[in-house]
């Protein structure tokens, strides 16, 4: 598989088989990804690989908090507080496309909530990766981290696995940190579902569009 193939094949997968992912394979993916560049080679990533009973315990506590309405403040603002164009329209289109794929009417708020709760179970993937960064690091390290995350996803794709990067997994930082023994000197960036795709699941036919080069590229000479 070429890099171009991996980039085009990778997608956010939202239904997984209950097929175990070996630690050897996870380590191989992370060994690939650690080659990602970072400013002055800081390598700001820290990863918690969670599966089995620990995963079930953690997701149960998060879902219970969500259902009680016990909202937490994320360790950082992932999304803008005010949505402006063109991002507002792209966000709306993405949600409507997903619900249309699943046959969920935009008026059916309960089914939308149930679909959202799957985020906190990492879509039942057998493995979830939680990503942390030292609180004192600055925006450059966040750029570095993005390259690390993409490297994980491309390596996983090459090895026949599927992924879904998830900001939702950072919505309850105190629960995650408590369960994983993480100190407050670390900031929870997000998580990633990892496993083998359930190709029979309707949700995995869902695709988000990409804008044309003309909409974001200018050439200067």
Q: What digits encode the pLDDT tens for the residues 113-142?
A: 999 999 999 999 999 999 999 999 999 999
Q: Does CATH number 3.40.109.10 belong to domain 3-78+120-206?
A: yes
Q: Mean pLDDT in the chain? A: 96
Q: Is 189 helix (H, G, I), strand (E, B) or coil?
A: strand
Supply the angle between the helices 139-158 and 23-33 in degrees, to the nearest 10.
Answer: 130
What confidence score (pLDDT) does residue 5 get? 96
CA dist., res. 221 & res. 205, Å (int): 41
Mean pLDDT across the stretch 149-169? 98
User: Residue 118: which H helix or E strand, with range?
Assistant: none
Mean pLDDT across the stretch 39-49? 98
**CA distances (Å), 136 to each of 34, 44, 60, 185, in order?**
21, 11, 31, 8
The tokens 């992912």 sit on which residue? 21
Question: Which band of pLDDT confidence, cut at 50, 70 and 90, is reported for residue 38?
Answer: very high
What confidence score (pLDDT) does residue 21 get? 98
CA dist., res. 72 & res. 119, Å (int): 16
What confidence score (pLDDT) does residue 112 get? 92
Q: What digits encode the pLDDT tens for the residues 79-88?
A: 999 999 999 9
- Counted residue by residue, the chain has a size of 221
Res. 4: pLDDT tops 90: yes
Res. 203: pLDDT tops 90: yes
What confidence score (pLDDT) does residue 135 get? 97
- The tokens of 152 are what? 């994980």
Question: Picking from 29-43, 71-85, 96-110, which range would have the lowest pLDDT averaged per residue?
Answer: 96-110
Supply the angle between the helices 109-117 and 87-102 in degrees, to the nearest 10.
Answer: 100
- Global pTM reads 0.95
Among 68, 31, 61, 48, CA closest to 148: 31
Mean pLDDT across the stretch 86-98? 94
What confidence score (pLDDT) does residue 106 get? 83
Q: What digits encode the pLDDT tens for the residues 182-199?
A: 999 999 999 999 999 999
Res. 66: pLDDT tops 90: yes
């Amino acid at each position: 598989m070429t890099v171009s193939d991996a980039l085009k094949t990778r997608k956010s997968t939202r239904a997984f088989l209950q097929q175990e992912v070996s630690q050897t394979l996870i380590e191989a993916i992370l060994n690939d990804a650690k080659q990602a560049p970072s400013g002055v080679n800081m390598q700001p990533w820290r990863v918690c690989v969670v599966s089995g009973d620990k995963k079930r315990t953690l997701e149960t506590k998060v879902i219970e908090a969500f259902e009680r309405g016990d909202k937490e403040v994320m360790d950082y603002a992932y999304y803008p507080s005010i949505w402006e164009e063109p991002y507002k329209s792209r966000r709306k289109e993405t949600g409507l496309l997903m619900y249309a794929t699943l046959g969920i009417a935009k008026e059916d708020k309960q089914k939308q909530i149930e679909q959202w709760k799957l985020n906190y179970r990492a879509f039942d993937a057998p493995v979830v990766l939680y990503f942390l960064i030292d609180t004192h690091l600055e925006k450059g390290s966040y750029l570095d981290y993005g390259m690390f995350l993409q490297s994980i996803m491309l390596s996983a794709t090459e090895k026949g696995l599927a992924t879904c990067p998830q900001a939702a997994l950072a919505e309850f930082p105190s629960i995650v940190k408590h369960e994983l023994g993480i100190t407050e000197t670390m900031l929870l960036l997000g998580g990633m579902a990892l496993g083998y795709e359930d190709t029979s699941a309707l949700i995995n036919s869902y695709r988000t569009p990409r804008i044309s080069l003309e909409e974001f590229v200018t050439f200067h000479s």
